[in-house]
Amino acid sequence: MTQTTEREQRFEQGKAVLDAIDGVGGANVVDALADVSPELAHQVVAWGFGDIYSRPELEPRDRQLVTLGMLSALGGCEPQLEVHINAALNVGLTPKQIVEALLQSAVYCGFPRALNATFAAKKVFAERGLLPIV
Amino acid sequence: MTQTTEREQRFEQGKAVLDAIDGVGGANVVDALADVSPELAHQVVAWGFGDIYSRPELEPRDRQLVTLGMLSALGGCEPQLEVHINAALNVGLTPKQIVEALLQSAVYCGFPRALNATFAAKKVFAERGLLPIV
Amino acid sequence: MTQTTEREQRFEQGKAVLDAIDGVGGANVVDALADVSPELAHQVVAWGFGDIYSRPELEPRDRQLVTLGMLSALGGCEPQLEVHINAALNVGLTPKQIVEALLQSAVYCGFPRALNATFAAKKVFAERGLLPIV
Amino acid sequence: MTQTTEREQRFEQGKAVLDAIDGVGGANVVDALADVSPELAHQVVAWGFGDIYSRPELEPRDRQLVTLGMLSALGGCEPQLEVHINAALNVGLTPKQIVEALLQSAVYCGFPRALNATFAAKKVFAERGLLPIV
Amino acid sequence: MTQTTEREQRFEQGKAVLDAIDGVGGANVVDALADVSPELAHQVVAWGFGDIYSRPELEPRDRQLVTLGMLSALGGCEPQLEVHINAALNVGLTPKQIVEALLQSAVYCGFPRALNATFAAKKVFAERGLLPIV
Amino acid sequence: MTQTTEREQRFEQGKAVLDAIDGVGGANVVDALADVSPELAHQVVAWGFGDIYSRPELEPRDRQLVTLGMLSALGGCEPQLEVHINAALNVGLTPKQIVEALLQSAVYCGFPRALNATFAAKKVFAERGLLPIV
Residue ranges in chain C whose pLDDT is less than 50: none
Residues of chain F positioned with their CB less than 8 A from the CB of C114:
40
Report d(CA B60, CA B92) in Å as an integer.
Answer: 9
Q: Which pLDDT value is given to residue A2?
A: 64
Minimal CA separation from E17 to chain A, in Å? 34
What CATH number corresponds to the domain at position B113? 1.20.1290.10
* DSSP character string of F52-71: IIT-TTS-HHHHHHHHHHHH
Indicate yes or no: CB of B75 within 8 angstroms of CB of D75: yes
**Average pLDDT value for chain A:** 95
Instruction: Indicate whether D134 belongs to any domain.
Output: no
C1 vs A53 pLDDT, higher one: A53
Query: Percentage of residues in chain B with pLDDT exceeding 90?
Result: 89
The verdict on D64 and D117 lying in the same domain is yes
Instruction: Indicate whether A83 belongs to any domain.
Output: yes
Neighbours of chain D (3+ CB pairs under 8 A): A, B, C, E, F
pLDDT tens-digit profile of A64-97?
Answer: 999 999 999 999 999 999 999 999 999 999 999 9
Cβ-proximal residues to B119 (8 Å cutoff; 6+ apart), any chain: D32, D36
The verdict on E75 and E86 lying in the same domain is yes
Domain that holds residue C74: 59-129
Q: Which pLDDT value is given to residue E5?
A: 85
Query: Percentage of residues in chain A with pLDDT exceeding 70?
Result: 98
Q: Which pLDDT value is given to residue B32?
A: 97
Domain boundary (A57, A79, A97) is at A57
Instruction: Pick the residue from chain E with its C-alpha nearest to F100.
Output: E37
Buried b (16+ CB within 10 A) or exposed e, C79-106: bbbbbbbbbbbbbebebebbbbbbbbbb
Q: Which pLDDT value is given to residue E2?
A: 64
Instruction: Indicate whether E33 belongs to any domain.
Output: yes
Q: Which amino acid is at E53?
A: Y
Report d(CA A20, CA E35) in Å as an integer.
Answer: 56
Query: Percentage of residues in chain E with pLDDT exceeding 70?
Result: 98
* pLDDT class of F2 with cuts at 50, 70, 90: low
* pLDDT class of B49 with cuts at 50, 70, 90: very high
Domain boundary (C34, C57, C80) is at C57
Is D98 a residue whose pLDDT tops 70? yes
Instruction: Indicate whether B3 belongs to any domain.
Output: yes
Mutate to test the interface with B, among E96, E98, E107 (most CBs of B within 10 A): E107
**Average pLDDT value for chain B:** 95
Instruction: Pick the residue from chain F with its C-alpha nearest to E40.
Output: F103
Q: How far is CA B34 from CA A81, A120, B29, in A?
A: 20, 14, 9
Is D3 a residue whose pLDDT tops 70? no
Q: Which pLDDT value is given to residue D23?
A: 82
The verdict on C72 and C34 lying in the same domain is no
Is the separation of the CB atoms in B72 and B109 below 8 Å? yes
Instruction: Indicate whether A134 belongs to any domain.
Output: no
The verdict on F64 and F115 lying in the same domain is yes
The verdict on C122 and C64 lying in the same domain is yes
Facing B108 at nearest CB: one of F105, F107, F112: F112
pLDDT tens-digit profile of E81-122?
Answer: 999 999 999 999 999 999 999 999 999 999 999 999 999 999
pLDDT tens-digit profile of B82-99?
Answer: 999 999 999 999 999 999
pLDDT tens-digit profile of F59-98?
Answer: 999 999 999 999 999 999 999 999 999 999 999 999 999 9
The verdict on D97 and D41 lying in the same domain is no
Residues of chain D positioned with their CB less than 8 A from the CB of A71:
112
Q: How far apart are the first and last CA of chain D?
A: 53
Q: Which pLDDT value is given to residue C3?
A: 65
Instruction: Indicate whether A3 belongs to any domain.
Output: yes
Residues of chain D positioned with their CB less than 8 A from the CB of A32:
119, 122
Indicate yes or no: CB of A107 within 8 angstroms of CB of E110: yes
The verdict on A47 and A23 lying in the same domain is yes
Q: Which pLDDT value is given to residue D49?
A: 95
Domains: count for chain A = 2
> In this predicted structure, which of B12-16, C32-36, F2-6 has the lowest mean pLDDT?
F2-6
CB-CB neighbours of C42 under 10 Å: 20
Facing A112 at nearest CB: one of B35, B43, B74: B74
Kindly state the average pLDDT of the residues B88-111.
98
Mutate to test the interface with F, among B70, B72, B74, B111 (most CBs of F within 10 A): B111
Instruction: Indicate whether E134 belongs to any domain.
Output: no
The verdict on A105 and A88 lying in the same domain is yes
Instruction: Pick the residue from chain E with its C-alpha nearest to F133.
Output: E36
Is B1 a residue whose pLDDT tops 60? no
The ipTM, to two decimals, is 0.95
Cβ-proximal residues to B19 (8 Å cutoff; 6+ apart), any chain: B26, B27
The verdict on F108 and F64 lying in the same domain is yes
Q: Which pLDDT value is given to residue F50?
A: 94
> In this predicted structure, which of B68-77, E3-12, F109-118 has the lowest mean pLDDT?
E3-12
The verdict on B64 and B30 lying in the same domain is no
The verdict on C53 and C9 lying in the same domain is yes
Domain boundary (F26, F57, F88) is at F57
Instruction: Indicate whether E122 belongs to any domain.
Output: yes
The verdict on B63 and B39 lying in the same domain is no
Kindly state the average pLDDT of the residues E54-65.
96
Minimal CA separation from C73 to chain A, in Å? 5
Q: Which 8-state DSSP code applies to residue C51?
A: I
Kindly state the average pLDDT of the residues B56-71.
97
Angle, helices D78-90 vs D3-22, to 10°: value is 80
> A-D interface: how many C-beta pairs under 8 angstroms?
62
Is A3 a residue whose pLDDT tops 90? no
